[in-house]
C-alpha cells in the first residue's frame, strides 16, 4: 500500500488521519473485503473525507469552531492523499461509455437511460475499460444517461448484421476498451 508522506499539515493531524485509515483498512480485511487496489483505497479516502465534511457541518451548526477547524485539517490531509492518486479523465470515461453504447447498438438494442444502467457493469468487470480504474461512478451513470438521451431516434435497420461476425467471432461486452 502506498501512502506518501506529505508535509503540508501538522504531524499530529496527519498521524491521526493515517491511523484512522489504517484502522478502517484492518476492519475491512477482517470482514473479507480487503483493500487491494488503488481504486479501493481512493474510495476509502473519499468516504473518510465525506464523513469529516459531514462532521464539520454538524460542528458548525453546534457552534464548535475548534472542532470545525480540526475536521477541516483532516479534510485537507485526506484531499492531499486523494490528489496523489489520479482518477480517469472525463474524456477517457466518455470514450469508454460511447464504446459501450455502440456495442449495445450492434447487439440490436436501443439503449435506454433508465433500464440499461445495469449495462454499465460491463465497464467495471474484469477486462472492461474501467475495471480497477479510479473513476466517479455517479459521473459514469450521469454521462451514460446524457449520451443515451442525445442519441438520434432508434432505427433498427441501421443495426449491424451480426455482432458476433462484426467482432471477429468473440463477445465484446466485457472487452470494451479505451483506445488512444
Predicted TM-score of the model (pTM): 0.54
Helix (H) or strand (E) holding 138: helix 137-149
What stretches in the chain show pLDDT beneath 70? 1-10, 86, 109-117, 153-180
What confidence tens digit (pLDDT) does each residue in 69-116 have?
A: 999 999 999 988 888 776 777 788 888 888 888 887 777 766 666 666
- Name which of 41, 140, 49 is nearest 88 in CA terms: 140
* Cβ–Cβ < 8 Å for 123, 140: yes
Amino acid at each position: 500500500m502506498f501512502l506518501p508522506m506529505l508535509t503540508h499539515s501538522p504531524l499530529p493531524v496527519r498521524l491521526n488521519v493515517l491511523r484512522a485509515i489504517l484502522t478502517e483498512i484492518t476492519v475491512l480485511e477482517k470482514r473479507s473485503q480487503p483493500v487491494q487496489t488503488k481504486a479501493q483505497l481512493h474510495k476509502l479516502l473519499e468516504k473518510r473525507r465525506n464523513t469529516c465534511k459531514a462532521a464539520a457541518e454538524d460542528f458548525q451548526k453546534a457552534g464548535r469552531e475548534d472542532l470545525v477547524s480540526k475536521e477541516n485539517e483532516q479534510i485537507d490531509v485526506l484531499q492531499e492523499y486523494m490528489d496523489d492518486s489520479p482518477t480517469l479523465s472525463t474524456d477517457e470515461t466518455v470514450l469508454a461509455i460511447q464504446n459501450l453504447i455502440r456495442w449495445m447498438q450492434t447487439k440490436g438494442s436501443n439503449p435506454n437511460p433508465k433500464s440499461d444502467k445495469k449495462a454499465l457493469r460491463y465497464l467495471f468487470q474484469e477486462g472492461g475499460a474501467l475495471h480497477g480504474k479510479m473513476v466517479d461512478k455517479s459521473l459514469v451513470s450521469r454521462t451514460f444517461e446524457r449520451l443515451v438521451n442525445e442519441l438520434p431516434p432508434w432505427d433498427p435497420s441501421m443495426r449491424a448484421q451480426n455482432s458476433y461476425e462484426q467482432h471477429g467471432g468473440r463477445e465484446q461486452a466485457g472487452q470494451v476498451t479505451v483506445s488512444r
